[in-house]
Every structure is written in C-alpha cells, then in structure tokens.
C-alpha cells in the first residue's frame, strides 16, 4: 500500500488523461492516483475507468455530477484521501503544466521536513514556458499582490502543484474553504501558513498545456482579487 496519492482534477481532459496517469505510474516511487472528474462531456471518466483494469488498487476515480470548480474538486479529493491512510497528498493538473517528473522532488522535501512543498514558478526568476506574456504578468502580479496584502512568505501563492503532509489537511477545516479558482490555492496556503506549518518552495518549470483547453475564466480572477482582501481581514479577527 502506497502512502502517497496524487489528486488530479479533470474536466474535458480526454487528450491528456491517459498520458498523465501513465507518467505518474512510470515514476520509480509507488504513487497512487485519484482522478476527480466532473462528468466531462468528452468522456474523460470512461478512459480513466478503462485504465483501472490495468492499474488495479493504484488508480481511483471520484465522479461528480457536474462541473463544480477546481477548489471543490480538490476538497472532495482531500476528504477521500484522509479517509484512507495516505500520508502525502498531492495536487497536480492533468494538462502537463506540472511535470510529473518533479513529483519525487516535492515528495522528498516533505519527507525531509517541510509540511507543504510547493512547486514554485517564482523562486528562480520566472520559470514559465509558453504562456502568453499577459498570463505571466497576471500570475506574477497576483503573487506580488498576495504577498503585499497577506505578508505570507510564499512567492508562488497561486501555484497548484503541491505536496501536503496529511497533518496539514487534517488541521485545516476543509468545510470552511470557500474559494474555487486561484483563490482556492491562495486560501489553502494562507490557512496553513497561519497555523504555523512549514511551507517550502521547490523551483519547477511550468509549461503551458499543448493539448486541450484552459478552463480559466474572468470570474476566477475577480474572486482572487477580492478574496485575498477578505482572507486577510478575516484572519485579523480570528487571532
């Protein structure tokens, strides 16, 4: 039984699903995979279920009825993983923006003492490949903005390539996490930071997807802008 699970949310990732799953299982270490699929119209879920024959007791799927956002997909995945005995719980995208070959480095950082290892684009300059300049500026600008408002010492606060130690997810009240997009990533890190957990940033190269489409939307950006201010204000009253 592995003590590591990689949670991958999917919505219309038919072009990436099989290869990302194989890429995780090709790692030397025994990682398990949980796909959280929101009833993708392109039948991503069917592909995953087909692969379960080959990867018995290693590949799992949580199927939700409709598209409900990245944040709640991860919350459902975390709750699933905490019911089992996994000690290291990963977040990773399905689109190869996060390189599965970096999984061991994040895992090792947690084994060596970090509570959270963040695959970070902004510790060694800006290590983002193929994103349009507008998106790099948006993401980098967001990270500066979050640092300014929250004072949290994390350079890539919207990063979604993360290894959590089990204790962190047990300590955070997952029912109270309210954001769904980038703000979800910020909220999780901020709550862990406030609880005194050790967050370590591991430099990674983030590549834009080459297959399938982004699900990012304007609403997600608005949520992040106002969400950060609201997180900070609430934290001032909950000391």
Ligand X SMILES: Nc1nc2c(ncn2[C@@H]2O[C@H](COP(=O)(O)OP(=O)(O)O)[C@@H](O)[C@H]2O)c(=O)[nH]1
Angle value at C-alpha 126, between 121 and 128, nearest 5 degrees: 65
Assess contact for 35 and 66: CB atoms under 8 A.
no
Q: Which of 34, 70, 103, 109 binds ligand X (CB under 6 A)?
A: 70
69 binding ligand X? (CB under 6 A): yes
95 binds Mg ion (CB under 5 A): yes
SS3 47: helix
Among 22, 49, 207, 215, binds ligand X (CB under 6 A): 215
70 binds, among ligand X, Mg ion, none (CB under 5 to 8 A by kind): ligand X
| Angstrom distance (rounded) from CA 58 to CA 129 | 31
- Residue 72 in the binding site for Mg ion (CB under 5 A): no
Identify the DSSP state of 155.
S
Specify the stretch interacting with ligand X by CB under 6 A; choose among 89-97, 117-125, 142-150, 162-170. 89-97
Beta partners for residue 207, in sequence order = 129
73 binds ligand X (CB under 6 A): yes
Among 7, 10, 121, 157, binds ligand X (CB under 6 A): 10
Piece of the chain touching Mg ion by CB under 5 A; list 7-15, 97-105, 153-161, 164-172? 97-105
Q: Please state at what angle helix 182-194 crosses helix 218-237, rounded to 10 degrees.
A: 20
Is 131 among the residues that bind ligand X (CB under 6 A)?
Answer: no
Of 69 and 119, the one with the shorter C-beta distance to ligand X is 69
Residues 49, 29: Cα–Cα separation, whole Å: 23
In whole angstroms, what is the distance from residue 193 CA to residue 118 CA? 13
Max Cα distance, the chain (Å): 51
Cα separation, 35 vs 16, in Å, equals 12
Nearer of residues 93 and 102 to ligand X, judged by Cβ? 93
Q: Is residue 93 close enough to count as binding ligand X by CB under 6 A?
A: yes
Quick one: what does residue 157 bind among Mg ion, ligand X, none, with the CB cut-off 5 to 8 Å set by partner type? Answer: none
Binding site for ligand X (CB under 6 A): 9-11, 13, 36-38, 67-70, 73, 93-95, 97, 209, 214-216
């Amino acid at each position: 039984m592995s003590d590591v699970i990689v949670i991958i949310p999917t919505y219309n990732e038919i072009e990436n699903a099989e290869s990302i799953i194989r890429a995780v299982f090709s790692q030397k270490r025994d990682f398990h995979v949980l796909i959280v699929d929101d009833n993708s119209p392109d039948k991503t879920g069917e592909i995953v279920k087909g692969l379960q024959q080959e990867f018995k007791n290693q590949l799992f799927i949580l199927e939700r009825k409709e598209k409900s956002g990245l944040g709640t997909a991860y919350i459902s995945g975390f709750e699933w993983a905490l019911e089992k005995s996994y000690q290291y719980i990963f977040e990773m995208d399905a689109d190869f923006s996060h390189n599965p070959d970096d999984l061991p480095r994040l895992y090792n950082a947690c084994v060596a003492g970090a509570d959270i290892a963040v695959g970070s684009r902004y510790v060694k300059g800006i290590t983002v490949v193929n994103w349009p300049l507008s998106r790099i500026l948006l993401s980098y600008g967001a990270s500066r903005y979050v640092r300014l408002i929250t004072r949290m010492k994390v350079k890539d606060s919207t990063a979604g390539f993360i290894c959590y130690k089990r204790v962190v997810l047990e300590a955070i009240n997952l029912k109270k996490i309210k954001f769904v997009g980038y703000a979800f990533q910020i909220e999780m890190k901020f709550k862990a930071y406030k609880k005194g957990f050790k967050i370590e940033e591991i430099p990674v190269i983030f590549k834009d997807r080459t297959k399938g489409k982004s699900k990012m939307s304007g609403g997600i950006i608005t949520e992040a802008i106002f969400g950060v201010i609201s997180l900070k204000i609430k934290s001032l009253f909950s000391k």
